[in-house]
Amino acid sequence: MKLFLASYRFGADSSSLTKLIPPPASVGVIANAADAWPPAARKWAVQSEIRSLSQLGYRATEIDLRLFERAEPGARATRLAEALMSHDLLWVRGGNTFVLRSQLARSGADTEIRRAVIDGNLAYGGYSAGACIASPALDGLELCDDVDEVAMVGDGKLMWDGLGLVPFRIVPHFRSPGHENPERIEQLAARYAQEDVPFRALSDDDAIVVDGHW
């Protein structure tokens, strides 16, 4: 299993990612955490990820999970699996963690991604919401992300489980200068500590890299 989980993009040192998955690997960018944003902002979110990954030497294109929501289940699973497995690395950007989780479920990508990553057939990278979604559960993140945004992107359900790729929760943007609402990040870390919930607090310079098994 190959994982790269960061607070903001590539952390302080992008070589941690390029050593894990060397360019010019093919990267599928999932930006559905931004689906509740205005269209222009979402378009920028996709373009900025593709540009940043391309600067590292990757061949990056978007996988828009919304394209798979209306297909028949059998055909959807086939098309989605083909789209995912045409890449070496999935790159899941930040935004609203609950919106991202809902869109993963609506498209069926949650099941496909979990299986492919755990089996070692696909590497997973992401930051902020894209990193948080790798955890076992999402409770507590409502302190930081607006759960009401889920209703803005269709008929998806509010879900509280993550993909379970790692056995701990992730607190992103921890004590990172310039991040909005730092007090909520502190509250989240304090809540997990008080409840004895395993977690990792990541500053915007940090990244968790996994190459193998826990």
Q: Which amino acid is at 149?
A: E
What per-residue confidence (pLDDT) applies to 75?
A: 63
How distant is the alpha carbon of residue 71 from its chain centre?
A: 23
Other Cβ atoms closer than 10 A to 115: 13
How distant is the alpha carbon of residue 74 from its chain centre?
A: 25
Interacting residues of 191 by C-beta distance below 8 A, sequence separation 6+: 140, 143, 197
Domain 2-211 has CATH 3.30.1600.10: no
Average pLDDT over the chain reads 94
Summarised one tens digit per residue, pLDDT across range 158-213 is: 999 999 999 999 999 999 988 878 999 999 999 999 999 999 999 999 999 999 87
What per-residue confidence (pLDDT) applies to 68?
A: 87
3-state secondary structure of 207: strand
Summarised one tens digit per residue, pLDDT across range 73-92 is: 666 678 898 999 999 999 99
What's the whole-model pTM score? 0.95
Measured on CA atoms in the order 207, 38, 103, 150, is the torsion positive or negative?
positive
Domain ranges of the chain: 2-211
pLDDT confidence bin for 72, thresholds 50/70/90: low
